Copies of this chain bind each other. A is one copy, B any other.
Amino acid sequence: MKHSNDEFSLISRFFSDIGRVGEPFSDETLVALGIGDDCAILRSSSGYDTCLSIDTLVSGVHFPENIAPDKLGYRCLAVSLSDLAAMGAHPTVFTLAITLPDNNIEWLEGFSQGLSSIARQYGIRLIGGDTTRGPLTISIQVHGLVPSGMAIKRSGARPEDLICVTGSLGDAGAALDYLHSDGSSVLLNDNVQHFLKRYYYPQPRITTGIALRGLASAAIDISDGLLADYNHIAECSGVGGLFYENDIPLSSALRAEKNDEALSLALRAGDDYELCFCISEHNFKCLRGDTLFDGVHIIGRVLETQGMIMVGDDGVEESLLPKGYQHF
């Protein structure tokens, strides 16, 4: 479940209050969390909650029309797994609804290879699906398990918490300029190859998410851009954020290839599927010895007052707008 602000307002206006669980079950026993986070959470009495999230990718909107089918198969599951990572959930099963313009066996073979490769990598099983005819569209619903009550929500950030991100930001956004050249005879340098790899093969931070259970106060995955996604944490938690310009992690490829735009891509481009999380200083210290957190960067502080601010090199503060990828 990814939202730009506009998508978010569509959802809350029309879809946030549809139906209730009827007898003999009840809303309260079954649903721990409904619409508005990376995943919904279903309770069970087995000691685990189920986190689930549905995501749709549309040809020409969420991926280039000429994308290689194995890359698409990989990417569409990666994007959904990233929602589980943001909740600290362990992936278990998924369903696939795929709409295809035709019955192209070669394409399907490539697609299922890419899908299968990431499914094996993350230990998640395809248990159901639907294939229909129409414009190429893929919906995937992923399910994951988390010990009862331990899912990391967007709503728990507290003033003074550190704001952290995994990996580096902006690389996948930088890839957008080169997607049309991919697979053509144009020679792409190593930096561009790096961007394309980040775009096509996002690495959902499942293990980091699991390690953050009970420690992070809030988390989200960065699909629409750091500012847009942190803004969801801020709104759900009733807080603001201060970011340190110098500490936003940029890859050497991004600095080399896109120096002027690097910061803007890191703040506003989507598709990185890194995690952004909030954590108290005390809990952060618990993590520091863990090699899993070698790639984690502190990029700011949660503020009590709403709004987002960036502190630059020179100590000058600048207000930030939560503008990221807009779905409409």
Residues of A within 8 A of B (CB): 1-3, 6-7, 10-11, 13-15, 17-25, 27, 30-31, 33-35, 39-40, 42, 44-47, 52-62, 90-100, 102-103, 108-109, 111-112, 115-116, 119-120, 122-135, 137, 139, 141, 143, 145, 327-328
**A15→B114 CA distance, assembly (Å):** 12
A47 nearest CB neighbor, chain B only: B45
Structural contact, B123 and A19, CB atoms closer than 8 A: yes
Q: Which of B40, B62, B115, B119 is in CB contact (< 8 Å) with A95? A: B40
**A33→B33 CA distance, assembly (Å):** 26
**With A61-B134, A92-B21, A128-B34: A54-B1 Cβ-Cβ less than 8 Å:** no
**A63→B148 CA distance, assembly (Å):** 41
**A130→B125 CA distance, assembly (Å):** 22
Main secondary structure of the interface of A (DSSP, over half): mixed
Structural contact, A125 and B45, CB atoms closer than 8 A: no
Q: Which of B128, B137, B141 is in CB contact (< 8 Å) with A99? A: B137
Q: Known pairs A20-B120, A133-B327, A141-B141. 19 more at Cβ < 8 A?
A: A14-B108, A19-B119, A19-B120, A20-B123, A34-B126, A35-B128, A39-B128, A40-B127, A40-B128, A42-B127, A54-B130, A54-B141, A61-B132, A61-B134, A95-B141, A97-B141, A100-B328, A134-B137, A135-B135
- The minimal Cβ–Cβ distance linking A299 to chain B, given in whole angstroms, is 27
Structural contact, B126 and A18, CB atoms closer than 8 A: yes
Residues of B within 8 A of A116 (CB): 17-19
Structural contact, A25 and B126, CB atoms closer than 8 A: no
